[in-house]
Structure 1
Amino acid sequence: MQRIIKDGQVIDETWHLLPKDVTLDGLSNCDDLIVPFQLWIDHAHALKARDGGLGIWLDSDEAVEEIADDLEHFKVIALNFPAFTDGRHYSSARLLRDRYGYKGEIRAIGDVLRDQLFYMRRCGFDAFAVRADRDPYDALQGLNDFTVTYQSAADEALPLFRRRQG
């Protein structure tokens, strides 16, 4: 069983991340599923009728604006990082938190490494599925790489100079 980092601790994964080529045939009615964007587009009505939890995952070329009207249906939004160097979903997480007010879980999936976790959390991520060849306990330490932040972000509304004026 895969282990993920969620809310600052390593836990067992309970959600099933479905591949892009999945169809509705044979999907469990009661499991918690994270479905690919295209399956949601094609079968939203049927997916909403399921008893299990529903999440969605977006590739880096799929925009959060496309699901903005449906956010209340998702307990988890997983944002895929196909490569360490592809940072487009940092903006996606920030949009979900700040523009759309999404309060559910935002999870980083794909090529997720320790060095990214601190910055991802600042953008609004609260769960991380680190690469399978990496130790999630080691990666967890990446959340504490820095003790002071200067800029405002999803995790701190005020910049440092405003916090120090008090």
Structure 2
Amino acid sequence: MPLIEKGEIVADLYVRVADDEPLPEGVAVLIGIDRFLNEAEALKGRQAPVGVIWPNNRPIAEIAPHLGQLSLIALNFPSFRDGRAYSQARLLRERLGWTGPLRAIGNVLRDQFLLMERSGFDQIDAVKPADAAAFDEAVQAYTVFYQPATDARPSLLRQRLGRTLAGVRS
């Protein structure tokens, strides 16, 4: 599957490794949370980056003590109807202060790209290469938002308050 980052298809530098497979040396790996938690101490000495796949049915606060050890967090969308990973992404960004790469994996659909980006996802594990163009189109389609989000675009309320406050100061 192609990996989309900032609207471009990029090479995936992480190798997904199953729980029963040995970790390759000198390569960035993406492993499941159970394996990560079982081997957390041993992974501290690893010379290559470690990313984790976090399931959407587990409280995201459990990852807080390990954030300094991770270089990537992948949140799973098992179904297009299951949006718990959006909440996890916002909690990671806003409450836990995660600034590293955040990847959407699983059942990722084009019509969800904008919300994924606004929720804090940097990378999307897309279904097909044409999704990169769809991603760019989706994030450019709207310029005004009612809801605040983790991205840099201010909500309509913040825009209006900014103009009002600027007018008062003058």
> What TM-score, normalized to structure 1?
0.88
Structure 2 residue 38 is matched with structure 1 residue 42: yes
Instruction: State the Cα RMSD in Å.
Output: 1.8
Which of 71, 75, 87 is matched with 2:67 structurally? 71
Runs of 4+ in 1 over 3 A off after TM superposition: none
Q: Secondary structure at the match of 1:69?
A: helix
Q: How does 1:1-166 map to 2 (within 5 A)?
A: 2-19=1-18, 22-23=19-20, 26-131=22-127, 133=128, 135-140=130-135, 141-156=137-152, 158-164=154-160, 165-166=162-163
Rounded to whole Å, the distance in 1 between the matches of 2:16 and 2:139 is 24
Deviations 1:38-97 (A, max 9, x none): 001111111222111111111111221111111111111000111111100100000000
Deviates more, 1:46-55 or 1:10-19: 10-19
Rounded to whole Å, the distance in 2 between the matches of 1:66 and 1:72 is 13
Paired residue type of 2:68: E
Q: Secondary structure at the match of 1:35?
A: strand
Does the 8 Å contact 1:29/1:52 carry over to 2? yes
Give the unaligned 5+ runs of structure 2.
164-170
Q: Secondary structure at the match of 2:73?
A: strand
Aligned residues: 161
Tell me the percent identity: 35
Q: How much has 1:120 moved relative to structure 2? A: 1.0
Shift in CA distance, 101/157, structure 1 to aligned 2, threshold 3 Å: farther
Q: How much has 1:7 moved relative to structure 2? A: 2.5
Give the unaligned 5+ runs of structure 1.
none
